[in-house]
Structure 1
Amino acid sequence: MEGKYILKIIIVGDAAVGKTSLVRSFIQEKFKTEYLPTLGVDIYHKQLTINNKVVDLSIWDIAGQKGWELMHRNYFRGADGCIAVFDLTRIKTLENLKSWILKVREYSKPDIPCVVLGNKSDLKVAIEVTDSKIEKIMKEIGCTYYFETSAKTGEKVDEAFTSLVKSVINKLKPR
């Protein structure tokens, strides 16, 4: 294999949207039903091979609770890609993505590749968010990639993370 990438990916969104569960699903840990909020940041690692190149991912799971905002500048700095998550059963979490993306672009890079995930697709009867609302927010924040995911079932989780990684490496050269 030729070339290697070392990437920092941040995952942001309001509290309890499923960020940690999505990361755990991606790195092949088991889904946990109890909610334990992230305090500050948790960092996970995963190695992938994409287009015959090794990709070492450092995934920064950022706390979504109020009170951690002052640390965001430090956590976002140096990020190569961003996954922004909202909860399909809580419309306010979609509306709040605008401020998350603005902060990410301010503290990392204005053109940082970003993928938006509408999580908890397995809770079909409780879904509040409409496709038109998602399209409107996606246009407002300037993100083109969107996936409806379920950390619980694993639906589209690998596809979403891999899509972001491919988008990032298309902008970079091997390190």
Structure 2
Amino acid sequence: MGKLSNFLNRIKKSKQLIRMTIVGDGAVGKTTLVQALIQKTTDSVSKSNGSKELKNKEITRTPFMEIETWAYDGVQFQCFDLAGQRIPGSHPLDLMRNQVIKTIDIYIFVFSVDVYESFENINNWLELMDLNNDYMNGHSVLVLVGNKIDLERNISNELIKSIVGKDKYFQKYIEICSLDGRGIDNLLDEITNIGKNLLNN
């Protein structure tokens, strides 16, 4: 397994490839978030006359997940958008655990700020993915995203802060509205910087 990990790491660095997955309950806006990220990269290309590239965009769809691939600012992103409604035995986390989890660099956990249950269920997703200490030690980064900030908030900032920071599960917390684009620039910059740091390690 060590040899395989080293081999995959060499490929990742040679292609400047960062793999990330987006998980969370159904209806928290995961797919809309991915589309907002892609739209923002497209807008950046237009405004900067190509100083940041968006190219090789590809979409692969299955009943349980979508895989989006695009290049931005020197980094090749491959994003796994997992289904939020989990039927045990047929979800990607059941069928393709090694492919979906073990090779991921950035984990984005999404909840909706207006639905407390979606925040509470983040713990269920963490347990389901069974991430061990390797993922807390520089091999991968966990990012928490609060979506739908255009709606009434039902989760306190204090509660969110309790799981974000040094020596906690999530290294970053970012609030967004994937519908109107608020916070998307910040999220895109964060995942790009995280990706570059991981590739340089």
Band of TM-score, shorter chain: 0.7 to 0.9
Partners of 2:37 and 2:131 in 1: CA distance: 27
Residue 18 of structure 2 aligns to a residue whose secondary structure is: strand
**2:155 maps to amino acid:** V
How much has 1:166 moved relative to structure 2? 1.4
1:58 maps to which of 56, 78, 83: 78
How much has 1:101 moved relative to structure 2? 2.8
How much has 1:128 moved relative to structure 2? 0.7
How much has 1:164 moved relative to structure 2? 2.3
Identity of aligned residues (%): 27
Determine the structure 2 residue equivalent to 1:33.
none
Partners of 1:109 and 1:10 in 2: CA distance: 17
Normalised TM-score (structure 1): 0.79
The answer to whether residue 34 in structure 2 is matched with residue 23 in structure 1 is yes
Partners of 1:99 and 1:165 in 2: CA distance: 27
- Go from structure 1 to structure 2 and tell me whether the alpha carbon gap of 1:45 and 1:108 turns closer, same or farther (over 3 Å shift): farther
Determine the structure 1 residue equivalent to 2:150.
122
Partners of 2:195 and 2:123 in 1: CA distance: 21
Counterparts of 1:46-85 in structure 2, within 5 Å, are 46-49=70-73, 54-67=74-87, 68=91, 69-71=93-95, 73=97, 74-85=99-110
How much has 1:144 moved relative to structure 2? 2.5
Radius of gyration: which is bigger? 2
Normalised TM-score (structure 2): 0.69
Deviations 1:104-149 (A, max 9, x none): 45389523201111000111xx321111111123369521311110
- Whether the 8 Å CA contact 2:23–2:83 is kept in 1: the answer is yes
How many pairs were matched up?
Answer: 158
**2:27 maps to amino acid:** A
Gaps of 5+ in 2: 1-13, 41-61
Relative contact order: is structure 1 or structure 2 higher (C-alpha 8 Å, sep ≥ 6)? 1
**Root-mean-square deviation (CA), in Å?**
2.6
How much has 1:165 moved relative to structure 2? 2.9
Determine the structure 2 residue equivalent to 1:7.
18
Partners of 2:63 and 2:133 in 1: CA distance: 21
How much has 1:25 moved relative to structure 2? 0.5
- Go from structure 1 to structure 2 and tell me whether the alpha carbon gap of 1:141 and 1:65 turns closer, same or farther (over 3 Å shift): farther
Residue 31 of structure 2 aligns to a residue whose secondary structure is: helix
The answer to whether residue 118 in structure 2 is matched with residue 90 in structure 1 is no
- Whether the 8 Å CA contact 1:45–1:58 is kept in 2: the answer is yes
Partners of 1:108 and 1:16 in 2: CA distance: 30
